[in-house]
Structure 1
Amino acid sequence: MTAATASSTTLDDLCSAYLPFDASSSAWSDLTPTPQLESSSPMCPILFAPEYSSAMDLYRTLTVSNTAPLSAIELSPRALALTSHLIQLNPSHFSVWQYRANIILHSPTLGSNRDELLRAELGWLDELAHKNMKSYQVWQHRRLVVSALGDPGRELEFVKENLARDAKNYHTWGYRQWVLAHFGGLSLPSSAVVVGSRGAGEFPQLWDGEADYVDQLLSEDVRNNSAWNHRWYIHFARFGLTGSTNPVNLDPTTMEKIQKTIKYEKAYAKASLAGCPNNASAWTYLRALHTALPASLQTRLVGELGWVKTMVSTNAEAEKDASVDVMGRGPVGALEWWFDCLAEDARSGNVAIEEAEMLVKRLIVADSVRKRFWAYRLKSLRRTLQPQQH
């Protein structure tokens, strides 16, 4: 049975007596609607649709004691049906989602086959996620349900389907990384299985296909900054190797693999930039491989300077014809890297200043939007070199 089939049977059996929603139905006759509290003359009254207002009036009645223990709150099939109706009308209503989660996870009357209900809920969420990919609440509720179920099942494939529709959706990527971290387990030196959470860290194989998946996404769109970020996540962040101040506390075998990965990833980023030299995401990734890892794994930017210079015209050529750096022709990432090598090297004397001044002129042509920033960078470099000139 598919998730969608399970949803159409299990949830329909529970909610069909109360849907389609009708506030005048005898199913709600024992409840006194609680209207929205407003002043007698609100400055800006909100005009809700009648079907939404009547449902919310009943919702307020059901949740009037929402601060009380769950045993004092109605967690019934009709309450579940009411949340279904409200979520279809307003999929971003956080409090309604919270109420639904309490019903799904804690209702004593629905607990005879909780896992079946959870799987049905996933099927119901499939369509909602497709229609409301940018709704944080949809993904957060899915996280609660999958965590309670304790099995990631087809979650990575489901996320893949959604990313095929919107490859840079922040919420979808955040959910994918949660699935990997929670069920696949992070390889942090201090990581431990989450106590009391079903399935946590029990599916390490989830990580196996991630590198190939990212390769596929970048082959489709090399400028997909979300895919570049995920590439960093699967290779380094999950080991805690983000941030120059973080100590390295991994076993020698893992460290050796990471060092090989760094070498490969540098070559990968450079090959990508050779085909698309104005890709800011790839430049950021390459820079991170040099500067955003713990100190023992860092390398100086100047080590790549020879290769970087092959990406742009020489200073002499640029001085002769400034159009070689017109936006799109001279990669800003390469010129910025060259300038940062001067700052990193902190050489003294007029040669460094003259070279830096020339590079800033070029950067202002290539990246005119940030011309004030480049002027500031030059001023900062002069201050660095000034004491060394006396």
Structure 2
Amino acid sequence: MTAATSTNIIDTLCAPYLPFDASSSTWSDLHPTPQSDPASPMCPILYAPTYSSAMSLYRTLTSTNSHSTLTAPLAGLELSSRALALTTHIITLNPSHFSVWQYRALILLHSPELESQRAQVLAAELKWLDQLAHRNMKSYQVWQHRRIVVSALGDPTGELEFVEENLAKDAKNYHTWGYRQWVLAHFGGLNLAQEQQEKAVGSKGAASFPELWDAEVDYVDRLLQEDVRNNSAWNHRWFVLFGRYGLTSSSSTPSTKLESLRNKIKYEKAYAKTSLAHVPNNASAWSYLRALHTALPAELARPMRENLEWAKTLVSSQEEARRDASVDVMGRASVGALEWWFDCLFERAGQNEEQQQVMEEAELLITRLCVADSVRKRFYAYRLKCLRRALQRS
């Protein structure tokens, strides 16, 4: 079936009821249920008449489900083509109405009227959602409904490409990234080795497309070449390489994977450091490098001080800063490198080193940070206080 044909299925089902007209005989059997407002609302919302009349009919249709039970949760709820048409009309006017989206999903998934052609209807719905997502990228309801539809179809073909189109327009859209990670996790699977032994059960197509992961690192590389400060792309890189395996500072790692993971971590550290050598004030890359040291299982974690000498190459020396504070003026010094240096002092705090020596170095670093990032002066004062307390406990 061609895309053009499948797109027309919902249009055909809804055609007798659209364009929407509340006075049409189509709706004559329904008694409108107006919105329940106080007699004299302080600030009434001025809904458009066509929206208000449609919502009154929507309330009537959904109120028929008030006597549902656990054994028959949809008993009495109208799941008809005209109800589908009504949701089309309301969503066109207000694509953020989550209750209407939920009602539409119930119709698409459970309407007896659509039983014989449900797959075609869902395919048509996906084409309609293509248009809505492009126009309403920041509406989480649109993306959530897309999850429901794609889950029901059980086939993610073309979804990563569709997301890429949207990210090309807004590379840091939270909802779009969340949807991409869901497609990868749901259809590609998370712990692939385990899933190959124990086939995932449940939703149609779950964990059946592990190849979806294959090009993700290359995709992130392209995004970071376009914008090295794309924090969403750095986050996705972590998700693809580490997060999807459940690797955290509180988890453990099978010994059989240790060597390969260490090699991967070594490469990623070099990747982040190369990026920072070109753009030293990139907070996203600093966060990524920090996570490679501190956010992985204990057997993979390494102290931050192993890269302290490298971090020092990105800023002036302490002696230069003492002579001329302007070396750290905002925009000239790498705030991330100075923070890295300061955090290494926390590691030294637990090694019974000379407190006076550590505090002198810390106080100068905090002075430098306040010059380089004056907006966070109070935060740096707090961090110095925390270090002092840590030294006193050691």
- In the alignment, which of 355, 358, 363 is matched to residue 352 of structure 1? 358
- In structure 2, the residue matched to 1:19 is 18
Work out the CA distance in 2 between the residues paired with 1:169 and 1:374.
Answer: 31
* Count of aligned pairs: 384
- In structure 2, the residue matched to 1:87 is 91
Cα gap change, 1:387 to 1:348, in 2 (>3 Å) = farther
Work out the CA distance in 1 between the residues paired with 2:81 and 2:171.
Answer: 37
Three-state SS of the structure 2 residue aligned to 1:343 is: helix
Unaligned runs of 5+ in 2: none
Work out the CA distance in 2 between the residues paired with 1:273 and 1:195.
Answer: 43
Deviates more, 1:195-204 or 1:283-292: 195-204
2:140 is equivalent to residue 141 of structure 1? no
**What pairs with 1:359-370 in structure 2 (closer than 5 Å)?**
359-370=365-376
1:301-322 per-residue CA deviation (whole Å, 9 max, x = no partner) reads 0000110010000011011111
2:303 is equivalent to residue 300 of structure 1? yes
Extract structure 1 runs of 4+ deviating beyond 4 A.
Answer: 188-194
2:312 is equivalent to residue 319 of structure 1? no
- In structure 1, the residue matched to 2:169 is 165
- In structure 2, the residue matched to 1:342 is 345
- Give, in angstroms, the shift of residue 379 of structure 1: 1.9
Retained in 1: the 8 A contact 2:62–2:77? Answer: yes
RMSD: 1.5
Cα gap change, 1:32 to 1:270, in 2 (>3 Å) = same
**What pairs with 1:211-290 in structure 2 (closer than 5 Å)?**
211-242=217-248, 244-248=249-253, 250=254, 252=256, 254-290=257-293
**What pairs with 1:88-237 in structure 2 (closer than 5 Å)?**
88-187=92-191, 195-237=201-243
Retained in 1: the 8 A contact 2:79–2:107? Answer: yes
1:231-250 per-residue CA deviation (whole Å, 9 max, x = no partner) reads 000000001012x11222x3
Work out the CA distance in 2 between the residues paired with 1:110 and 1:256.
Answer: 53
- Normalised by the size of structure 1, how large is the TM-score? 0.95
Work out the CA distance in 2 between the residues paired with 1:185 and 1:251.
Answer: 22
- Give, in angstroms, the shift of residue 351 of structure 1: 1.8
Retained in 1: the 8 A contact 2:6–2:120? Answer: no
1:144-182 per-residue CA deviation (whole Å, 9 max, x = no partner) reads 000010000100000000000100000000000000000
Deviates more, 1:297-306 or 1:67-76: 67-76
Amino acid at match of 1:198: K
Percent sequence identity is: 69
- Give, in angstroms, the shift of residue 257 of structure 1: 2.4
- In structure 2, the residue matched to 1:55 is 54
- Give, in angstroms, the shift of residue 188 of structure 1: 7.0
- In structure 2, the residue matched to 1:44 is 43
Unaligned runs of 5+ in 1: none
Retained in 2: the 8 A contact 1:7–1:124? Answer: no
Deviates more, 1:59-68 or 1:131-140: 59-68
Work out the CA distance in 1 between the residues paired with 2:216 and 2:10.
Answer: 34
- In structure 2, the residue matched to 1:9 is 8
Deviates more, 1:89-98 or 1:20-29: 20-29
Work out the CA distance in 1 between the residues paired with 2:188 and 2:355.
Answer: 54
